[in-house]
């Protein structure tokens, strides 16, 4: 793989292990089938849990592997090899699990962390609403405590990926103070089978397997200990959550973009038109050369952000650059792949149309490209 020598020996080996696992144990056919049938990849999730990879970011004394964000980002790159949606099924639960590890009470950690590492439960995060997307602080779903201390929740959430999968606990951003836009937000941990909550999987263009949902809450009751962190700490938790999310998803974008380019190059060498491989036509060679250059540049941006995060260096700007360029690169490379493969690209077994669908979502989910540019621009102020 291009730029693999940029990594030290142990990281090269780790990325190689994940890539080999994807080829030998998962396979593109399985991922394609899950997409076509809109089936959550339970079997693959269980295989990854058995590898111990769900505990990669947790300390050894917590049952994990003691890895850092760079290790995790490399895993994301490998998991995204045959499509970002598959990687999302693994990455999304980890973001919330790490929040519990950082902000949870001892009782919450004991209840959730080891079962998550073992693959017995999953997590999802619910931030957006019909009126709160890029402006997440506009959250209107309301949570109030009754006389017994239980939380009573009413409202509607949207675009909650993975929330419909079985044995899933949702970390939901709710409003606990109507008079404080940012300080009035909190996080509640809500099992997805809680009475009074209705979850509908949406028939979206992308995210077929992991699934994204709308959630309706009508006086949903959860105990007082469902609160993650402190009352009013929700905005802080979500901001830190998004930094980890954007770094790792950018790695997955790069992994998928590399596959899109490699598959287009292979096809260009094999496809014969006008008596010769279409690779011989300079216009196609230049298109693919541009794509590979962009993938390499995106990978370097991801690795820089991951290293800074692993070293504890503030890197919101660098993470946003990686997320922005990685997602736009995936979209450009998969669209170019569609052009190179021609009519064949439209067939599911070619996989390129799936990469394209998922690339469109990649520039929106987890913070749009425009939001990333806004974050970058803020860091450029004199």
Find the mean pLDDT for residues 263-277: 97
pLDDT digits over 122-145, tens only?
Answer: 999 999 999 998 888 899 999 999
Percent of the chain with pLDDT over 90: 92
Banded pLDDT at 5 (limits 50, 70, 90): low
Are 163 and 199 in contact by the 8 Å Cβ rule? The answer is: yes
Banded pLDDT at 189 (limits 50, 70, 90): very high
pLDDT digits over 62-116, tens only?
Answer: 899 999 999 999 999 999 999 999 999 999 999 889 999 999 999 999 999 999 9
pLDDT digits over 298-311, tens only?
Answer: 999 999 999 999 99
pLDDT digits over 177-187, tens only?
Answer: 999 999 999 99
pLDDT of amino acid 239 = 84
* Domains identified in the chain and CATH numbers: 4-122 (1.10.540.10), 123-232 (2.40.110.10), 236-378 (1.20.140.10)
pLDDT digits over 329-347, tens only?
Answer: 999 999 999 999 999 999 9
Rounded Cα–Cα distance for residues 67 and 239 (Å): 22
Residue 358, CA distances (Å) to 37, 255, 284 in order:
16, 13, 23
Q: In the predicted model, what is the mean pLDDT of the chain?
A: 95
Closest CA to 199 of 229, 228, 172: 172
Beta strand 197-201 with 151-161 is unpaired
Find the mean pLDDT for residues 233-251: 89
């Amino acid at each position: 793989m291009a730029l693999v020598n940029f990594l030290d020996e142990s990281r090269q080996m780790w990325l190689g292990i994940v890539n080999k696992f994807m080829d030998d144990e998962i396979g593109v056919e399985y991922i394609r089938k899950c997409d076509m049938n809109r089936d959550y990849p339970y079997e693959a999730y269980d295989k990854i849990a058995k590898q111990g990879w769900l505990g990669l970011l947790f300390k050894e004394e917590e049952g994990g592997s003691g890895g850092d964000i760079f290790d995790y980002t490399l895993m994301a790159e490998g998991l995204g090899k045959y499509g970002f949606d598959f990687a999302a099924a693994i990455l999304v639960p980890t973001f919330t699990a790490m929040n519990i590890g950082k902000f949870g009470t001892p009782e919450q950690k004991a209840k959730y962390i080891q079962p998550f590492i073992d693959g017995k439960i999953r997590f999802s995060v619910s931030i957006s609403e019909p009126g709160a997307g890029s402006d997440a602080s506009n959250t209107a779903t309301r949570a109030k405590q009754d006389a017994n201390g239980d939380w009573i929740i009413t409202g509607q959430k949207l675009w909650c990926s993975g929330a419909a999968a079985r044995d899933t606990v949702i970390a939901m951003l709710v409003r606990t103070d109507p008079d404080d836009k940012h300080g009035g937000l909190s996080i509640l941990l809500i099992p997805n089978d809680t009475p009074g909550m209705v979850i509908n999987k949406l028939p979206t263009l992308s995210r077929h397997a992991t699934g994204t949902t709308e959630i309706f809450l009508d006086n949903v009751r959860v105990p007082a200990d469902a609160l993650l962190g402190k009352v009013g700490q929700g905005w802080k938790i979500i901001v830190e959550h998004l930094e980890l999310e954007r770094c790792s998803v950018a790695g997955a974008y790069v992994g998928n973009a590399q596959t899109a380019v490699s598959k287009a190059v292979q096809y260009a060498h094999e496809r014969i038109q006008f008596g010769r491989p279409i690779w011989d036509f300079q216009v196609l060679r230049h298109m693919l050369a541009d794509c590979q250059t962009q993938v390499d540049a995106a990978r370097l941006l991801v690795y820089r952000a991951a290293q800074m995060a692993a070293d504890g260096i503030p890197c919101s700007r660098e993470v946003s650059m990686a997320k922005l360029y990685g997602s736009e690169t995936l979209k450009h490379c998969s669209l170019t792949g569609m052009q190179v493969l021609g009519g064949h690209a439209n067939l599911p077994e070619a996989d390129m149309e799936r990469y394209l669908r998922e690339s469109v979502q990649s520039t929106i989910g987890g913070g749009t490209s425009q939001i990333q540019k806004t974050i970058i621009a803020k860091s450029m102020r004199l």
